[in-house]
Amino acid sequence: MKTQSDLYRELPGVDELLRDPDIAGLVAREGQAVVADACRSVLGHLRDEISADRVDAESLSVVLSRVHAAVKDELNRVMGYSLRSVINATGVILHTNLGRAPLAEKALERIRETAGTYSNLEFDLPSGERGKRDVHVDRLFRQLLSAEGGHSAGRARTPVAPHPNDLRDTGVPARTPEPSISTIVVNNNAAAVLLALNTLAEGHEVIVSRGELVEIGGSFRIPDVMAKSGAILREVGTTNRTRLSDFEHAINERTRLLLRVHRSNFEISGFTEQSSITELVALAEKHKLPLMEDLGSGALFDLRSVGINDEPGVLDSLRSGVHVVTYSGDKLLGGPQAGMISGREGLVQKMRKNSLFRALRVDKLTYAALEATLLAYVKRDYDAVPALRMMQLPKSEITNRCEALVSQIGSGDLRAELLDGESLIGGGSAPSAVLPTTLIALTSRHLGASELAARLRALDTPVIARVEEGRVLLDLRTVFPEQDKVLRHSLVQIAAE
Ligand SMILES: *Cc1c(COP(=O)(O)O)cnc(C)c1O
């Protein structure tokens, strides 16, 4: 019977392990330092096993005969990427847990072209002097949010044929003269709300309807952000009903801002009342107060063209006369994570001067990606933006891809059938913002639905699916067509297990 110290003596040293031919191969690939670390970690684990009496001489010799495999596993664990690409088969286009909007090809190209080298991020090329980073996108926002550039069928000054995806026209009459709209970009929409509230209302009151004191996933709560901004929340109305007179009665000499918040992830139905944006604008102007709207998703694309009618766009809001709007870059806009503040020049100028703006600013990668995404809008090349492309995908096309995929799975352990279902826009757009789709329903003969979903997540390219009523559901709307092949291979493999 060997003692613990006998067993310890059987363990090789790190140098000895590094000379093992299999491990030497790893050293050639990954470098000596990390492989030596992996060896130390494997040997440390074995020492723990010995001291806890969990191995005897026999099992130790088995483990040692495979020690190179253990080193390799450890190396993979340490050196493998934690942030990985996955196949989103949930049908939720803007899935917050899966990274929201995938970037346009052109945006990726621009990141590569500008981020790996020096750029004129804050450098004015004509004068050779220091420039401002926000000029790179402000010009495009101006174009997209101005009366002429706003892609509005109804309001185009020149008689051009309206594009089918032209931004919606709310029918609100033009306000003359057209106010100049400026845009600044910060880290995300939560930061945009924080900066706007701090600039416009620090130490003063902001009036909000009780029905709009929302919490967005990931612990963004309007009352908390309000407190951090130094503004004082003045709640009015009730959860289901807030009248214009509730706002009006709350206005006093401490009031600095009226705030409207998009309800994003829930709806209030039944006995409800909410002032219209036009009424709020009129009230704000009567009292010479700014009205801000936190749109959340903030579409720059006419969602009515894909059958979604109740999601307000950025242009709708500005055209109605809202003074400042905030919205995300990686929700309906389909770009990088960012938060936009678009509004009246004078108000946005104040935010630009706030030192918080410096703390919340975005980097060159974001500007590169955002500029490319906005240029796709200027060109009306909506297909170039993956989130918009997915929204526009007709159900028939999804059905065809589903049929092609299912026909090749064969008759192994998996049973697949097609059903009608709904894709979700997600990303804080109205919960009713859904698109008709075709789903692949998978059932396994020996795995339960949640086990099958876990098996899909364990693939080299993890597949994320929905589980409903004992079935695994795949929605190809959010799967890139070039991923169909990988998905098919994976399903064939699982079916054969
Ligand atoms: C999503 C959302 C936010 C937060 O935006 P982020 O870009 O995630 O910071 C704030 N307000 C509303 C209404 C939202 O929908």
Q: What are the pLDDT digits (tens) for 320-342? A: 999 999 999 999 999 999 999 99
Which band of pLDDT confidence, cut at 50, 70 and 90, is reported for residue 265? Answer: low
Average pLDDT over residues 181-190: 96
- From ligand 1's centre to the CA of 2, what distance in Å? 63
296 lines ligand 1 (CB under 6 A): yes
Q: In the block, which residue shows the tokens 């959340």?
A: 296
Query: Alpha-carbon torsion 26, 29, 33, 37, what sign?
Result: negative
Q: If you compute the radius of gyration of the chain from its CA atoms, what whole number of angstroms results?
A: 28
Question: Residue 433: which pLDDT band, with cuts at 50, 70 and 90?
Answer: confident
Summary mean pLDDT of the chain: 90
Between the CA of 132 and the centroid of ligand 1 the distance, in Å, is 26
Say whether the peptide bond before residue 177 is cis (omega within 30 degrees of 0): yes
CA 146 – CA 453 distance, rounded (Å): 47
Q: What is the pTM of this model?
A: 0.88
pLDDT for the residue numbered 305: 87
pLDDT in tens, 292-301: 999 988 899 8
Q: Is the pLDDT of residue 449 over 90?
A: yes
Instruction: Indicate whether 171 pLDDT > 50.
Output: no
Distance 121 CA to ligand 1 centre (A): 27
Question: Which alpha helices (DSSP H) does 91-175 contain, by range?
Answer: 105-115, 135-145
Across 22-26, 109-113, 114-118, 483-487, least confident range: 22-26
- Which of 98, 214, 220 maximizes ligand 1 atoms within 8 Å of its Cβ, making it the mutation to test the pocket? 220
220 lines ligand 1 (CB under 6 A): yes
Could you read off the pLDDT of 397-431 as tens digits, one per residue? 999 999 999 998 877 889 999 999 999 998 877 66
Q: What is the pLDDT of residue 150?
A: 53
Strand 255-261 to 205-209 pairing: parallel
Is the C-beta atom of 426 inside 6 A of ligand 1? no
Q: What is the pLDDT of residue 160?
A: 35
pLDDT the model gives residue 164: 38
- 3-class DSSP state of 36: helix
